[in-house]
Chains A and B, each alone.
Chain A
Amino acid sequence: SQTIHQWPATLVQPVGSPLSLECTVEGTSNPNLYWYRQAAGRGLQLLFYSVGIGQISSEVPQNLSASRPQDRQFILSSKKLLLSDSGFYLCAWSVLWSSTDTQYFGPGTRLTVL
């Protein structure tokens, strides 16, 4: 069966510090991968998605970047965190590009920037 992992589960970082959040998927090959952010009082916002190794698309301009060094690994990074980067970060995966496909979400990382 497929599983998706995210770490760390929680993170408290000072403004201006770097960030690296990791997401890995097990039990499937060549998944589509997604990074979402859920800020307090706001909906779920798609940040990045990837259809293959080294292929990253950004949905919104921001302070963050994403990379996919391996087929089932997706990393979210920042060189210098801002207060506005605080939120709940969710990674998700899907397989098919079809009307019957859903996305499967990881447990999330709670990031607090102070």
Chain B
Amino acid sequence: KQEVTQIPAALSVPEGENLVLNCSFTDSAIYNLQWFRQDPGKGLTSLLLIQSSQREQTSGRLNASLDKSSGRSTLYIAASQPGDSATYLCALMNAGNMLTFGGGTRLMVKP
């Protein structure tokens, strides 16, 4: 059974700082790894999707990496802004198109 862990559970940084969110997983037989953003009381928005054969994906100030051999992924956010404040969720897709989510990292960027 896939288990996904996200560290830290919460993070508070001043505006402008670069930061890294971590995700680890136990089963490397994955189809893809995805990073989602969730604003309080809202649904999830997909940020980046890394296919099993890929090492990283970039979108604007966001860069996600995938290392299947070590069971790790990181989400790098450059030049953080108060609007980046949200919960970030890592999810792994295994066979059957099912997503297994981590517990999330709650990010607060202070102006």
| A residues lining the B interface (CB < 8 Å) | 32, 42-46, 49, 59, 88, 90, 92, 94, 97-108, 110
Contact = CB atoms under 8 A, between A and B. Distances in A.
Given A43-B4, A90-B44, A105-B44, 18 more contacts: A43-B102, A43-B103, A46-B100, A49-B98, A92-B44, A94-B97, A98-B31, A99-B51, A99-B53, A100-B51, A102-B49, A103-B46, A103-B99, A104-B46, A105-B43, A105-B45, A107-B43, A108-B43
A101 B97 contact: yes
B43 A97 contact: no
Nearest to B100: A46
Given A49-B98, A99-B32, A101-B97, A42 B42 contact: no
B88 interface: no
Nearest to A98: B31
Interface of B: 4, 31-32, 34, 36, 41-46, 49, 51-53, 89, 91, 93, 97-104
A83 B41 CA distance: 20
Given A107-B42, A108-B41, A99 B31 contact: yes
Contacts of B49: 100, 102
Contact of A44 (B31, B45, B52, B89): B89
A92 B31 CA distance: 18
Contact of A90 (B32, B43, B52): B43
B42 A108 contact: yes
Given A100-B32, A106-B43, A42 B93 contact: no
Contacts of A98: 31
A97 B96 CA distance: 7
A43 B100 CA distance: 9
Contacts of A102: 34, 46, 49
Contacts of A44: 44, 89, 91, 101
